[in-house]
């Protein structure tokens, strides 16, 4: 592993635990709170694996959450430290002190006198390590991406045109994706999910959507909108009852916020829920709810008005409604411009009763919970847009190579080359925005503004890519049955669903002008 320079810290070697000597006799570790005095380190250095080394290790174990076991020998390797192989310490050139483990984790550094067993990095340490800047996906992320790409290109892409034409929900594809673990990629393993990280999920979603965005939105709406609120806000019992079969992908779960009068203005929700004799009685309707009417849908979480606050604003609460609940009905699916093989229905609630314990999260926190959910959803819709933009580019590049005019491939004309270059640049930018936002979320950092940026830029870049892909195809791109014509139809929804470009631009602008994205959004939906 080569050392890398990140924010002035050199990170590299087996554990990435690197101290940098700063003016003022102190060593500063990547974790800003972790400081060791230079004197202590010098003492530790003398004994290397001696008492001070032990203390230093103990402190590192405590502060960094590393797990160690009897027999470990920690080396405090000064900058001239040789490796066991006689090669230079991978970080010595940086002038750093490297707290390295005794072998293991791919280390090239020397082992302790007792042969030493490697340290095992804890969850916390892995999360911190992920935060180090590195454009390489982890092995796990790569595995999810490659698995998705293989499956999408072999099993989804060849059927995408037919799925769009027939507007049929692809049960067999979704079943296979469940078997592969994709339909529960980020959901907890203890509830049947795959336990993958959010970056991996977005990489996978990009690949699935590159083959077909109908399948992409089915996966996204299930994982991000349907299941993640259950996983985040559900009680243990709710997770057991509702999440378990959905986290495997065997059943689907939907999320119902949008209504006739409540689109961008989610606070305009009219659906009501009254508590009567230990039951919530729900009345009202929802529209365009994804995954709400398939044969495998297990239920929906709906946002309903459960009262009025002192300031006159509605109290909005999330309620779990299983599919077979009396008083809950679904209308027919819609004729759509895109996402035609995905499933959306209007939902109707007429004296629909669910037990009081079907409250999800806190009473009155429904909108706040949903907006948090939506931040993750926006990153995912941006990933879906990147996948679609990539599909446009794939088709455009192939056409530019094959189509001949004036005795040469059209890709030889500068006008076409510039279109390809612009598409490639924008896709790269959009992908980086998606991955940055996903990485921030995975690291537990604020990511609301970045989610909005990724959503706006990726959806609009995809629209431009679809437009240019049709242009590069000429009249052929205007024909029914041409992939780029389908992409051109499909791309528009990405600028609308899960927050329009307008509302996302407002979140970005307000966060720049006034306050953090989180505060700006809280004010916009203040109840
Ligand atoms: C295929 C599909 C699937 C969907 N799936 C789901 C789902 O699973 N669950 C769910 O709850 N919803 C779902 N939706 C709804 C979707 O999230 C909404 O369409 C979206 O939030 C926008 O709401 P709206 O369509 O009512 O637009 P409106 O709110 O009516 O907006 C119309 C226009 O006005 C603009 N506008 C509105 N307010 C402002 C403002 N304050 N400032 C500037 N411009 C403004 C908008 O940006 C837009 O351009 C789905 C929609 C579709 C089409």
pLDDT number for residue 514: 77
Going by CA atoms, what residue is nearest to atom 19 of ligand 1?
497
Q: Could you read off the pLDDT of 227-260 as tens digits, one per residue?
A: 999 999 999 999 999 999 999 999 999 999 999 9
Angle (deg, nearest 10), helices 366-402 and 414-442: 150
How far, in Å, from the CA of 264 to the mean position of ligand 1? 5
From the alpha carbon of 303, which atom of ligand 1 is closest?
11
| 524 Cβ below 6 A of ligand 1 | no
Cβ atoms 73, 114 nearer than 8 A: yes
Q: Rounded distance, CA 4 to CA 527, Å?
A: 47
User: Nearest CA to 241 among 109, 138, 357, 152?
Assistant: 357
What SS3 state is found at 320? strand
Please provide residue 88's backbone torsions phi and psi, each rounded to the nearest 5 degrees.
-70, 150
How far, in Å, from the CA of 174 to the mean position of ligand 1? 26
From the alpha carbon of 339, which atom of ligand 1 is closest?
1
CB count, 10 Å around CB of 256?
28
**CATH tag for 370-526 (out of 3.40.50.150, 1.20.140.10, 2.40.50.140, 1.10.569.10):** 1.20.140.10
Q: Rounded distance, CA 321 to CA 291, Å?
A: 14
| 290 Cβ below 6 A of ligand 1 | yes
Q: Could you read off the pLDDT of 355-385 as tens digits, one per residue?
A: 999 999 999 999 999 989 999 999 999 999 9
How far, in Å, from the CA of 265 to the mean position of ligand 1? 8
Going by CA atoms, what residue is nearest to atom 38 of ligand 1?
264
Cβ atoms 208, 215 nearer than 8 A: yes
pLDDT number for residue 519: 67
User: What amino acid positions are annotated as catalytic residues?
Assistant: 498
Longest CA pairwise span in the chain (Å): 80
Q: Which residues of the chain have pLDDT under 50?
A: 1-54, 56-57, 59-121, 526-527
How far, in Å, from the CA of 261 to the mean position of ligand 1? 10
> Percentage helix, strand, coil, to 5, in the chain?
50, 20, 30
| 495 Cβ below 6 A of ligand 1 | no
Write the CB contacts of 412 (distance below 8 Å, at least 6 apart in sequence): none
How far, in Å, from the CA of 326 to the mean position of ligand 1? 29
How far, in Å, from the CA of 421 to the mean position of ligand 1? 32
| 303 Cβ below 6 A of ligand 1 | no
Q: Which DSSP string do the residues of 168-210 spell out, in sequence order? A: ---HHHHHHHHHTTGGGTTS-GGGT-----HHHHHHHHHHHHH
| 283 Cβ below 6 A of ligand 1 | no
What SS3 state is found at 495? helix
What SS3 state is found at 302? strand
Going by CA atoms, what residue is nearest to atom 14 of ligand 1?
288
Which of 227, 255, 263, 267 maximizes ligand 1 atoms within 8 Å of its Cβ, making it the mutation to test the pocket? Answer: 263
Which of 216, 220, 264, 344 maximizes ligand 1 atoms within 8 Å of its Cβ, making it the mutation to test the pocket? Answer: 264
User: Nearest CA to 38 among 30, 27, 51?
Assistant: 27
What ranges make up the beta strands (E) of 175-313?
252-256, 272-276, 279-290, 297-308
Domain range list for the chain: 3-132, 139-364, 370-526
Going by CA atoms, what residue is nearest to atom 25 of ligand 1?
263
pLDDT number for residue 130: 57
Q: Rounded distance, CA 56 to CA 63, Å?
A: 10
Going by CA atoms, what residue is nearest to atom 41 of ligand 1?
503
pLDDT number for residue 153: 98
Domain 370-526 in the same topology as domain 139-364 = no
pTM score: 0.78
| 496 Cβ below 6 A of ligand 1 | yes
Cβ atoms 454, 430 nearer than 8 A: yes
Q: Rounded distance, CA 42 to CA 76, Å?
A: 10
| 255 Cβ below 6 A of ligand 1 | yes
Q: Which CATH class is domain 139-364?
A: mainly beta
CB count, 10 Å around CB of 480?
8
How far, in Å, from the CA of 351 to the mean position of ligand 1? 27
């Amino acid at each position: 592993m080569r050392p890398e320079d990140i924010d002035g810290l050199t990170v590299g070697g087996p554990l990435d635990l690197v101290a940098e000597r700063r003016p003022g006799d102190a060593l500063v570790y990547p974790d800003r709170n972790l400081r060791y005095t230079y004197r202590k380190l010098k003492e530790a250095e003398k004994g290397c694996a001696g008492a001070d080394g032990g203390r230093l290790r103990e402190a590192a174990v405590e502060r960094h959450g590393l797990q160690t076991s009897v027999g470990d020998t920690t080396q405090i390797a000064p900058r001239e430290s040789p490796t066991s192989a006689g090669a230079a310490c991978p970080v010595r050139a940086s002038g750093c002190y490297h707290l390295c483990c005794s072998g293991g984790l791919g280390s090239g550094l020397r082992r302790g006198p007792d042969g030493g067993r490697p340290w095992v990095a804890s969850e916390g340490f892995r999360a911190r390590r992920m935060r180090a800047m590195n454009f390489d996906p982890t092995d796990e992320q790569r595995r999810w991406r490659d698995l998705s790409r293989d499956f999408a290109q072999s099993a989804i892409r060849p059927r995408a045109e037919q799925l769009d034409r027939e507007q049929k929900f692809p049960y067999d594809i979704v079943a296979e994706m469940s078997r592969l673990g994709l339909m529960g990629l980020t959901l907890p393993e203890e509830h049947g999910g795959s336990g993958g990280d959010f970056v991996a999920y977005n990489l996978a979603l990009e690949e699935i959507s590159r083959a077909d965005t109908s399948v992409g939105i089915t996966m996204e709406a299930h994982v991000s909108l349907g299941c993640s609120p259950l996983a985040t806000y559900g009680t243990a019992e709710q997770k057991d009852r509702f999440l378990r079969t959905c986290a495997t992908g065997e059943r689907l779960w939907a999320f119902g916020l949008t209504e006739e009068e409540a689109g961008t203005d989610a606070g305009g929700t009219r659906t009501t829920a009254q508590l009567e004799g230990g039951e919530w009685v729900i009345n009202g309707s929802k529209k365009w709810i994804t995954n709400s009417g398939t044969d495998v849908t297990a239920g929906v979480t709906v946002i309903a008005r459960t009262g009025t606050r002192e300031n006159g604003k509605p109290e909005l609460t999330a309620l779990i409604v299983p599919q077979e609940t009396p008083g809950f009905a679904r209308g027919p699916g819609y004729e759509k411009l895109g996402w035609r093989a995905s499933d959306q229905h209007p939902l109707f609630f007429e004296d629909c009763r669910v037990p009081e314990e079907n409250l999800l999260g806190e009473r009155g926190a429904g909108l706040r919970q949903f907006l948090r959910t939506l931040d993750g959803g926006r990153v995912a819709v941006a990933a879906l847009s990147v996948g679609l933009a990539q599909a446009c580019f794939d088709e455009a590049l192939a056409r530019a190579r094959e189509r001949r005019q004036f005795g040469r491939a059209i890709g030889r004309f500068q006008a076409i080359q510039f279109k390809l270059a612009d598409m490639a640049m924008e896709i790269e930018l959009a992908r980086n925005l998606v991955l940055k936002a996903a990485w921030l979320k995975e690291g537990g950092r604020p990511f609301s503004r970045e989610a909005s940026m990724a959503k706006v830029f990726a959806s609009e870049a995809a629209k431009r890519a679809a437009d240019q892909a049709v242009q590069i195809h000429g009249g052929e791109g205007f024909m029914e049955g041409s992939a780029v014509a389908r992409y051109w139809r499909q791309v528009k929804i990405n600028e609308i669903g899960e927050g329009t470009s307008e509302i996302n631009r407002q979140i970005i602008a307000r966060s720049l002008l006034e306050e953090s994205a989180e505060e700006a959004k809280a004010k916009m939906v203040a109840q």
